Amino acid sequence: MCGAHQPMTVKTLHIDAPRDEEVLVRIVASGICRTDIDMWEAGGIEPAILGHEGAGIVEETGRAVKTVKPGDHVVLSYQSCGRCTACHTGHPTDCEHFWDLNFGFQRLDGSSAYTAAHVRGHFFGQSSFATHVLATERNIVKVSRSLPLEVLAPLGCGLQTGAGTVMNSFRVKAGQSLAVFGTGTVGLAAIMAARIVGASPIIGVDIRPKRLALARELGATHVIDSRRTDVSKRIERICGKLNFAIDTTGDPALIAAAQSSLAPGGRLAVLAGGTDRELPENRKILAIIQGDSIPQRFIPRLIKLWRDGKFPFDRLIRFYPFEDINRAIADVENGRTIKAVLRMN
């Protein structure tokens, strides 16, 4: 449970039983995403339960739930309503209720399963920094019981966003060029996906030598330390202009460098906030959410790629006991850990 700029605290709370369309999940593990940290630092929501990269075991289902049953292993992702035009046409990231369902800290009807506890929950339809959560069939992905849930947990947001931007949003083809600005979880997922689809060159940009070295191991053909090199000039020497660029940093200088490096018709994805913009010569800046992924389709695809040895995202993970959540957050913020995953006791 969090309060602005205060250490996270672990408390015993009451959560209501699942409604007809809800699923009670015992959380086995939860990734820590940059969005969790940003929300905690911003404040204004305390006391609240964060977390939105959960994985666990179904304990109870509402009467209307048909796709999972008690005992099933599941990965949790973002929430969508399933009723609006965007959801019905296969675009749940454009759900007209996306903001309310994922950042509203309540159900869509304004109610909460945590009223008796006087805290806010339902973050991304889960609030997975907890031993138990309520989710729905819209943000649950059933997975094999033979797979390690603690490894699969971070697939529901950061990894899905990075890989999905390459594979779903951009649909990068073999031989097309891509630069990724920021080689954290999202950026490295994009680099791994770019290698899978045959992009070339694949350029990783960061300020941490160890992360740049890992980017090379995971698929980058070139890396650039933006503290030491003029990024735009270096990209020009490597490939002239870019077909695609992805910014995960939100740094205006790097976004400007990415924009200036785009070829006519090129696309820049801004994943740290922003809006779509048209640029001269049919270039575009796109604010992409969750890699335009449908979790029930894309997460199983990523799991298969991981099992085939093509998407080794487990190399990014460091595990922490749930009670060490504050140390895990500190390690992410200071760069010691790329993807922290909490194990529930």
Residue 1 lies in a domain: no
Say whether both 173 and 56 belong to one domain.
no
- Give the pLDDT of residue 116: 81
For the chain, percent of residues with pLDDT exceeding 70:
99
Q: Are residues 206 and 285 in the same domain?
A: yes
> 5 in a domain, yes or no?
no
Residue 17 placed within a domain: no
Q: How many domains does the chain have?
A: 2
Q: What average pLDDT does range 230-234 have in this prediction?
A: 97
Residues 145 and 55 in one domain: yes
> Does the residue 119 lie in any domain?
yes
Instruction: Note whether 74 and 176 are same-domain residues.
Output: no
List the strands of the sheet with 178-181, edge to edge: 222-225, 202-206, 178-181, 242-247, 262-270, 283-287, 277-279
137 within domain boundaries: yes
Residue 4 maps to a domain: no
Residue 127 counted as domain residue: yes
Instruction: Specify burial of residue 308 (Cβ count, 10 A radius: 0-12, 13-18, 19+).
Output: exposed
Segment 54-77, tens digit of pLDDT: 999 999 999 999 999 999 999 999
DSSP-H helix ranges across 180-264:
185-197, 209-218, 231-239, 252-260
CATH number for the domain spanning 124: value is: 3.90.180.10
The pLDDT of residue 2 = 56
4 pLDDT above the threshold of 70: no
220 residue type, one letter: A
- The parent domain of residue 193 ranges over 161-289
At 277, which CATH number? 3.40.50.720
Location of structure tokens 């920021």? 182
What number is the average pLDDT over the span 232-259?
97
The sign one gets for the Cα dihedral 63, 130, 300, 125 is positive
> What is the C-alpha to C-alpha distance for residues 113 and 119, in angstroms, rounded to an integer?
9
Q: What pLDDT, on a 0 to 100 scale, did the predictor assign at position 44?
A: 72
pLDDT beyond 60 at 275: yes
Residues 143 and 267 in one domain: no
Q: State the angle between helix axes of 185-197 and 209-218 in degrees (0 to 180), rounded to the nearest 10.
A: 30
Residue 343: predicted pLDDT: 98
For the chain, give the percent of residues with pLDDT over 90: 93
Using the structure block, give the residue that is written with the tokens 């992409």: 288
pLDDT in tens, 116-166: 888 999 999 999 999 999 999 999 999 999 999 999 999 999 999 999 999
| Residues 127 and 236 occupy one common structural domain | no
pLDDT tens digits for 297-337?
Answer: 999 999 999 999 999 999 999 999 999 999 999 999 999 99
Both 253 and 275 in one domain: the answer is yes
Query: Has residue 1 got a pLDDT over 80?
Result: no
pLDDT at 6 over 90: no
Q: Please give the pLDDT value at position 119.
A: 93
Q: What is the pLDDT of residue 31?
A: 98
- pLDDT the model gives residue 327: 97
In a domain, 35, yes or no: yes
Same domain, 152 and 233: no
